[in-house]
Amino acid sequence: CAPPTVLRLLVLEDLGAYKFSFRQCVSAGEPLNPEVIEAWQRGTGQLLRDGYGQSESTAMVYNLPGAPVRLGSMGHPSFMYDVVIADDEGRVLPDLAEGHLAVRTNTGRPNGLFVGYFGEPERAASVFRHGLYYTGDKAYRDPDGYLWFVGRDDDVIKSSDYRIGPFEVESVLVEHPAVVEAAVVGSPHPIKGHEIKAFVILHPGLVATAALATELFAYCRAHLSPYKMPRILEFVPELPKTISGKIRRVELRTQEAQQRLGGAPGAGEFFYEKSPE
């Protein structure tokens, strides 16, 4: 078991040169990009299974061994949790509708779910409401019951009345052979509210150039809806992360807001509007 940050680095190696004795492989900590799962399976012969859980719970959603896996999906809910996709008022949403990932508590609290936050009753009240526990994450369910992660409530980007999850955009970027890792945030925009900015780490030995930025913009244009396309790319040597390897998008958002206030573009920034078609 390893976080996606570690797995993204491992698949850069020639995994076929090693002898593995894995019985099961699991990713944890944040969503895992489908192309990493594919590269891991090619290199090790093992399927890398993703799932979902929190400090407040045990594993809530997962891909069971032997069950069909849909790359990019968290899997199905655990038998311990009655997981739903709900709106702000506690109404359960239909398949394919994006909403809050939540757990029913009005029929009894699941054994694996926490009781509350010690000394913080107001915080507990904010997540236990309408007979549900709100995880703070956005997701949707497909018609076959698979759950798909969209992003943390705070990470979802609002642009021209669209709501865009960073994970889908990041997954497209890391599919490009030049990209090792990417993090997407909203960049303040006077008309749209926000536009999409991607921070990109390149493979070792590659150089950040305007030509490569243009290539990445074109790649995104071919694989994403126009409103999901990054409008700004910034090549960076590293991304801020927690001790467990999760990308600290809140830090990137703060950095980006300050950058736009300053007016001048950063040294590694490239803009879609200034990029040749």
pLDDT in tens, 103-140: 999 888 898 999 999 999 999 999 999 999 999 999 99
CB atoms under 10 Å from CB of 266, counted, come to 14
Are residue 100 and residue 209 in the same domain, yes or no?
no
The residue among 133, 151, 169 that closes a domain is: 151
- CATH number (domain holding residue 48): 3.40.50.12780
Query: Would you state the torsion angle of the CA atoms of residues 193, 181, 203, 245, taken in this order, to the nearest 10 degrees?
Result: 130
Q: How confident is the model at residue 1 (pLDDT cuts 50, 70, 90)?
A: confident
Are residue 54 and residue 111 in the same domain, yes or no?
yes
Exposed/middle/buried for residue 213 (C-beta within 10 Å: 0-12, 13-18, 19+): buried
- Is residue 244's pLDDT more than 90? no
Are residue 14 and residue 142 in the same domain, yes or no?
yes
Are residue 173 and residue 66 in the same domain, yes or no?
no
**Structurally, how many domains does the chain consist of?**
2
139-143, 186-190, 266-270: least confident range: 266-270
Are residue 249 and residue 177 in the same domain, yes or no?
yes
The range of the structural domain enclosing residue 207 comes to 157-274
Are residue 147 and residue 22 in the same domain, yes or no?
yes
Q: For residues 26-55, give the mean pLDDT.
A: 89
Q: How far apart are CA 265 and CA 231, in angstroms?
A: 13
Are residue 12 and residue 142 in the same domain, yes or no?
yes
3-class DSSP state of 99: strand
Residues 6+ apart with CB under 8 A from 11: 36, 39, 40, 43
- Is residue 215's pLDDT more than 70? yes
Are residue 141 and residue 41 in the same domain, yes or no?
yes
pLDDT digits (tens, 9 = 90+) for 68-116: 999 889 999 999 999 999 999 999 999 999 999 999 998 888 989 999 9
The residue among 151, 181, 215 that closes a domain is: 151
Are residue 140 and residue 177 in the same domain, yes or no?
no
Are residue 48 and residue 114 in the same domain, yes or no?
yes
- Is residue 32's pLDDT more than 90? no
Q: At what angle do helices 34-44 and 166-175 cross, to 10 degrees?
A: 40
